[in-house]
Amino acid sequence: MVCKKRYKAIIGYNGNRYHGWAKQPKLLTIQQTVEDAFYNVFKQKIKIFCAGRTDKKVNALGQVFHFDWSMKTKIKSSAIIKAINHALPPDIRLLKIHVVNNNFHARFDAKWRIYQYFINTDPHYDPTSFSTIYQYNKPLDLKKINQIKKMFIGRKNFLSFSIDRRKEKKDLIKTIKTIKITRNKAIVKIEIKGNHFLWSMVRMIVGCFIAFNENKMTIKEICDCFKHPQKGKSHFRAPANGLTLFKVIY
């Protein structure tokens, strides 16, 4: 008897070559590449559902997806991982996989998502890390940026820090739980933990931090972005290649 089961998987990828997560006609995407790998190995078509669609060139270390799969014979998780990774390109790796309750949903059951943004402040461009670290190559005053960090924490309408097309106000209210800004030599890491994120929201928050550091945006202007939300009002958006979906918490 063939039994259909639901699986939860964790995957990591370098998004530099890809046009984001979601399948698009005639474009190379993470979702299509993973689904093709499963079909090539197990000759079954599956559809995978992720915790959060990442944009073009965005990376991941802890992306989560689920799928339903009918298996005729029992296969160990380690064997599945080995077989799928052999079929995947080297910039995508299946890290974990296991059976979950049939009601589990990678997106709707997620409580928190953690994104990390990396910035190289060294004056020299590093060609070896350009696909995972934004080559800003200028100083960042973390004390100055920390002056505005608390303005983004809490339950707020983040439409001004997004290019999202949604119009319902309830869909635009998101909660940022923590923002941590640290430095390791020349690399600055901005870690943002939130329940949900609008399209380009993390990149536009980071872009606002950088703009404030460069005196291109004032505290008054940031306040106005929250008081009078408008799509893309902040204007500044950090490049996609510095962003990594680090972890999804259930």
- pLDDT-derived band at 222 (thresholds 50, 70, 90) equals very high
The residues near 38 (Cβ < 8 Å, ≥ 6 apart) are 44, 46, 67, 84
* Residue 224 reports pLDDT greater than 90: yes
Local structure of residue 205 (DSSP, 8 states): H
User: What is the distance, to the nearest Å, from the Cα of residue 3 to the centroid of all Cα atoms in its chain?
Assistant: 33
* Residue 36 reports pLDDT greater than 70: yes
The residues near 111 (Cβ < 8 Å, ≥ 6 apart) are 195, 249, 250
Q: In whole angstroms, give the CA distance from residue 92 to residue 21.
A: 12
Mean pLDDT, the chain, rounded, equals 95
Decide if 55 is catalytic. yes
In tens, the pLDDT along 70-113 reads 877 788 999 999 999 999 999 999 999 999 999 999 999 999 99
Domains of the chain, residue spans: 3-100, 138-189+196-242
Reported as half-sphere exposure (CB side, CA atoms, 13 A), residue 196 has a value of 17
Give the active site residue among 36, 55, 91, 224: 55
**Options 3.90.850.10, 3.40.800.10, 3.30.40.10, 3.30.70.660; CATH of 138-189+196-242:** 3.30.70.660
In tens, the pLDDT along 40-50 reads 999 999 999 99
CATH 3.30.70.580 describes domain 3-100: yes
